[in-house]
Amino acid sequence: MPGQQLATTDSLVEGTHFLSSLSSYEDIGWKSVAVNLSDIAAMGGYPEHLLIAISMPPRFTREQFTRLYTGIVDCANTYKTRIVGGDLTSAPQLILGLTVLGSFHENGCLKRSGARPGDIVIATGDFGASAAGFWYLQNESSEAHSIRPRYVRTSAAHRRPIPRLAEAWSLVKRTDSRGALMDSSDGLADALCQISWASEVLIEVDLELVPIHDETREVATLAGVDVNDWALYGGEDYQLVGCVRPEIWDNYSHELSSSFVVIGRVLEGRGVRLKVGSADGPEVELSRTFQQIRF
């Protein structure tokens, strides 16, 4: 397993994945790299090389390109990923297509198909922050809500996500590939469904245990939104969601608990069950998760 290669690619399209009116070009550049690094983190791998294809509209200036590329370089350098090539072309809107090549961790990798009944479900960070940041950035000038520019954390979560590479390495080191892992780029509900489908298990999650930051809750109140909706379906949080054997958690919780929290358990069956404490929670709305074609 060590020495084998990982590869991931992702595209960000202006008007679909970002709005230049809400983020600086430095932020857009950073995010385009971070979302790809998060895919490498989702398997516990090491990012090594980066290929960049940028399509720019005719209105794009040299100064804007410099700022965009500065964000790309900043993120790549932060996570020790070397830019080795790419392509420039024109398009009606700004499009960034990036490919990251990486290698497996020396202790193996974790896939979404590795969950087993009896496992516990763990997650990094907090959920719903990016959706809250996106709403706030769209509405920060709204006099109707008397919003003041104070929601720095949620804004940063949307503009500059953090790929959870170090947390993934810490987990893989202690599991020796026994378990499952995925990032929550398309939302917590989607990550849970993907692990459930791939592993053919039932995943039960207690919404009271899902970490949600106070700032996210405050923005949700302003927006008149159920904060659990943002946590489950908002997406772009780029947190890790994993399943590990209980003995692994028992043995290493004193080391892993600084990065991961327990949010549920894995059972016999299929699907995802949401609970609120001891009571049944809402049904997972599959129509709101990212659906891949299955034959």
The predicted-structure confidence for 60-114, as pLDDT tens digits, reads as follows 999 999 999 999 999 999 999 999 999 999 999 999 999 999 999 999 999 999 9
Model confidence at 283, pLDDT cuts 50, 70, 90, reads confident
Q: What is the pLDDT of residue 33?
A: 98
Residue count of the chain, please give it.
295
Question: What's the whole-number mean pLDDT along residues 135-152?
Answer: 70
Q: What is the mean pLDDT of the chain?
A: 91
Q: Which residues pair with 264 in a beta bridge?
A: 121, 205
- More reliable by pLDDT, 283 or 163: 163
Q: What is the pLDDT of residue 291?
A: 45
Q: What is the pLDDT of residue 16?
A: 81
- Tell the burial category of 16 from Cβ atoms under 10 Å away from its Cβ (0-12, 13-18, 19+): exposed
CATH number of 5-103: 3.30.1330.10
Whether 1 has a pLDDT exceeding 60, the answer reads no
Q: What is the pLDDT of residue 148?
A: 54
DSSP codes joined into one string, 217-250: HHHHHHHT--HHHHHHH------EEEEE-HHHHH
Domain extents in the chain? 5-103, 120-288
Select from 3.40.190.10, 3.30.420.40, 3.40.1360.10, 3.90.650.10 the CATH code of 120-288: 3.90.650.10
Question: What's the whole-number mean pLDDT along residues 256-265?
Answer: 95
Q: What is the pLDDT of residue 142?
A: 54
pLDDT in tens, 168-212: 999 999 998 899 999 999 999 999 999 999 999 999 999 999 999
Those residues with Cβ within 8 angstroms of residue 181's Cβ, 6 or more apart along the chain or in another chain = 42, 43, 44, 110, 111, 112, 114, 168, 171, 172, 240, 241, 242, 243
